[in-house]
Amino acid sequence: MTDLTKLSLVEARKGLAAKSFSSTELTGAYLSAIEAANPALNAYVAVTGEQALSMAKASDAKLAQGEGGALEGIPLGIKDLFGTKGVHTQAASHILDGFKPEYESTVTSNLWRDGAVMLGKLNMDEFAMGSSNETSFYGPVISPFRAESSNANLVPGGSSGGSAAAVSAWLCAAATATDTGGSIRQPAAFTGTVGIKPTYGRCSRWGVVAFASSLDQAGPIARTVEDAAVMMTSMSGFDPKDSTSAQLAVPDFAAAVERGVKGLTIGVPREYRMDGMPAEIEKLWQQGLDWLRAEGATVRDISLPHTKYALPAYYIVAPAEASSNLARYDGVKYGLRVSGKDITDMYELTRAAGFGREVKRRIMIGTYVLSAGYFDAYYVQAQKVRTLIKKDFEDAFNAGVDAILTPATPSAAFGIGDEAMAADPVKMYLNDVFTVTVNMAGLPGIAVPAGKDGQGLPLGLQLIGKPFDEETLFAAARVIERSANMDFSPKPWW
């Protein structure tokens, strides 16, 4: 039998429907792959083997009757940020030690409703704060990719590094992920996978551990554009339990994938041409534009004048919201408790021991910018700049642009323990320079693999769309995927 883990989600779905194999066999193949690979890659922080096999068995019963949902019997990995009832949910943090929610997040409920099988929980940067998956309490995820003729371990990107590595290394058919400043798109770009952050409000945030509530959105990471579209359709939908959930019908995103780009206008923002951008990124960008042009799109230069202020504004807004959201971890309601001489002492010792360095740093920044005397200078100013960033995009769309093409990241994946980034937090933050604007404006953005650097490492392009027009992103990303026509799978070394 062929290796079932190598099938795309859509291929696996066809095989299950045709009864070429069962979900139990498919799930078993993934569980074996995880067992073999996880000691090296550290992509999963919890494997739910028994639960997976019992879900697969239930799916097989449905499939045998010719029934079942859109994801019936498909084994998925779930980022540790999603609340999963009775199952490890710790946002890869020490402070949530032992936490097993009494509820299920809306997004994962939607996936189980459609028949998906849960393989386990995926590693991530602690509380989704990071761009390299090195801030996890469970240790870094190692990328399945290595540079040609090198044994050095690389980062898979972050914060959804476990999701990206697991999808790329055939440890799940697809995965859930979340994106606050680039946490779906940057790891997707580093691992040759497809990742989409939908429009703010498209996926319910209910039951997902909160980082920065006005920026957080869930989305999928998958091996193909079509797989991502199938995942997106199941994950999306109105949820009365999330006050910012959009009351809109969910299109069949997969139906838009082969729609093409004929007649579309693609914007190219001149402010994204950064000083010192590697020539290979510039070349990739031009190549992407040529592919879209060749299929009938018009390319137009545009200006998004406030681009350079998006990252600094983000590093006020996101930590401010995080400092508020993470106030709930106090050693009383769940997770870790470190005893102290009184209750304040207990709070301070619990939080000092339970949060990692990056999380503490961001809570401190957030607390500072919200503190008396600084609120207007920092937070209010950042929210005004955010209004201007959003207006830049609105102006471009109003002038007839349908989607915007940019690089996904300023470079390919870097090494574990990169010294320059460890020494200067801002260097690490610059990873999100092309993605963070999209969160600030609440827009949808997709990262699609488009080429490789000189070392054979994947490079991605990003498409940014109008609010709730993910369909155009899937269509345009598919043109890039088809035009690139490259194998973006890693060479197994694990």
Catalytic residues: 79, 159, 183
Q: Which of 72, 114, 134, 330 is in the footprint of other proteins by CB under 8 A? A: 330
Minimal distance, residue 97 CB to other proteins, in Å: 9
User: Which residues on adjacent β-strands are paired with residue 363?
Assistant: none
Minimal distance, residue 37 CB to other proteins, in Å: 31
Is the CB of 99 or the CB of 488 nearer to other proteins? Answer: 99
Between CA 19 and CA 171 the distance in angstroms is: 22
Q: Which of 8, 20, 244, 287 is in the footprint of other proteins by CB under 8 A? A: 244
Minimal distance, residue 193 CB to other proteins, in Å: 26
Sheet holding 458-465, edge to edge: 44-47, 117-122, 75-79, 174-179, 217-222, 194-197, 445-452, 458-465, 403-407, 265-269, 298-302
Q: Which of 169, 177, 231, 363 is in the footprint of other proteins by CB under 8 A? A: 363
Minimal distance, residue 470 CB to other proteins, in Å: 14
Answer yes or no whether residue 432 interacts with other proteins by CB under 8 A: no
Answer yes or no whether residue 336 interacts with other proteins by CB under 8 A: yes
Answer yes or no whether residue 441 interacts with other proteins by CB under 8 A: yes
Which residue stretch of 34-42, 280-288, 425-433, 450-458 sits at the interface with other proteins (rule: CB under 8 A)? 425-433
- What burial class does residue 217 get, using C-beta atoms within 10 Å of its C-beta: 0-12 exposed, 13-18 middle, 19+ buried? buried
CB 296 within 8 A of CB 313: no
Between CA 413 and CA 426 the distance in angstroms is: 17
**Rounded to the nearest 5°, which phi and psi values hold at 458?**
-65, 145
> Count of residues binding other proteins (CB under 8 A)?
74
Answer yes or no whether residue 246 interacts with other proteins by CB under 8 A: yes
Answer yes or no whether residue 405 interacts with other proteins by CB under 8 A: no
Which residue stretch of 111-119, 218-226, 310-318, 447-455 sits at the interface with other proteins (rule: CB under 8 A)? 310-318
- Residue 132, both tokens: 């390299």
Between CA 25 and CA 38 the distance in angstroms is: 20
Q: Which of 144, 335, 356, 451 is in the footprint of other proteins by CB under 8 A? A: 335
Q: Which of 8, 383, 411, 483 is in the footprint of other proteins by CB under 8 A? A: 383
Between CA 172 and CA 385 the distance in angstroms is: 40
Which residue stretch of 34-42, 273-281, 336-344, 398-406 sits at the interface with other proteins (rule: CB under 8 A)? 336-344
Answer yes or no whether residue 243 interacts with other proteins by CB under 8 A: yes
Enter the DSSP assignment of 329: -
| Cis-peptide, bond into residue 159, ω within 30° of zero | yes
Answer yes or no whether residue 333 interacts with other proteins by CB under 8 A: yes
Answer yes or no whether residue 342 interacts with other proteins by CB under 8 A: yes
Q: Which of 49, 278, 415, 425 is in the footprint of other proteins by CB under 8 A? A: 425
Q: Which of 285, 429, 434, 488 is in the footprint of other proteins by CB under 8 A? A: 429
Answer yes or no whether residue 64 interacts with other proteins by CB under 8 A: no
Residues in the chain: 494
C-alpha pair distances (Å), 66 with each of 56, 319, 388: 15, 49, 52
Helices (H), 275-380: 279-294, 310-325, 343-354, 357-370, 375
Q: Which of 113, 371, 398, 492 is in the footprint of other proteins by CB under 8 A? A: 371
Q: Which residues of 11-25 are buried (b: 16+ CB within 10 A; e: fewer)?
A: bbbebbeeeebbbbb
Which residue stretch of 2-10, 49-57, 110-118, 372-380 sits at the interface with other proteins (rule: CB under 8 A)? 372-380
Q: Which of 316, 318, 403, 457 is in the footprint of other proteins by CB under 8 A? A: 316
Interactions with other proteins, residue window 90-149 (CB under 8 A): 98-102
- What burial class does residue 343 get, using C-beta atoms within 10 Å of its C-beta: 0-12 exposed, 13-18 middle, 19+ buried? exposed
Using CA atoms of 45, 49, 51, 54 in order, give the dihedral in degrees to the nearest 10: 160
Q: Which of 380, 399, 422, 486 is in the footprint of other proteins by CB under 8 A? A: 380
Which residue stretch of 5-13, 64-72, 198-206, 471-479 sits at the interface with other proteins (rule: CB under 8 A)? 198-206
Interactions with other proteins, residue window 262-291 (CB under 8 A): none
Collect all residues with Cβ–Cβ distance below 8 Å to 239 and sequence separation of at least 6. Answer: 106, 204, 206, 245
Minimal distance, residue 184 CB to other proteins, in Å: 17
Minimal distance, residue 383 CB to other proteins, in Å: 4
Minimal distance, residue 292 CB to other proteins, in Å: 27
